[in-house]
Amino acid sequence: MTSTQMIKFLKKNGFVQVAGGKGSHKKFYNKITGRLTVVPDHKQELGKGLEHKILKQAGLK
């Protein structure tokens, strides 16, 4: 999964981008669950470990 696909997936699941994030990273927050996660913003594939960690932080896995 690329970071662009991950961002679309998070948005479909109620996450919105919030201010912050350094460099090429974006922060996403879900009001309902209160969860916050950071996603690198590049066009490359995310590593399997990073993909798993982002989904776990978001409460989607």
| Residue-number span of the structural domain to which 51 is assigned | 3-57
Model pTM score: 0.90
In tens, the pLDDT along 11-40 reads: 999 999 999 878 899 999 999 999 999 999
The residue-averaged pLDDT of 32-49 equals 94
With 0-12 / 13-18 / 19 or more C-beta atoms within 10 angstroms meaning exposed / middle / buried, residue 43 is: exposed
Angle subtended at Cα 46 by Cα 57 and Cα 49, rounded to the nearest 5 degrees: 55
Q: Work out how many domains the chain is built from and give that number.
A: 1
Half-sphere exposure of 46 (CA within 13 A, CB side): 20
User: What CATH number did the domain enclosing 51 receive?
Assistant: 3.30.920.30
d(CA 39, CA 41): 6
Handedness of CA 3, 44, 21, 54 (dihedral sign): positive
pLDDT at position 43: 85
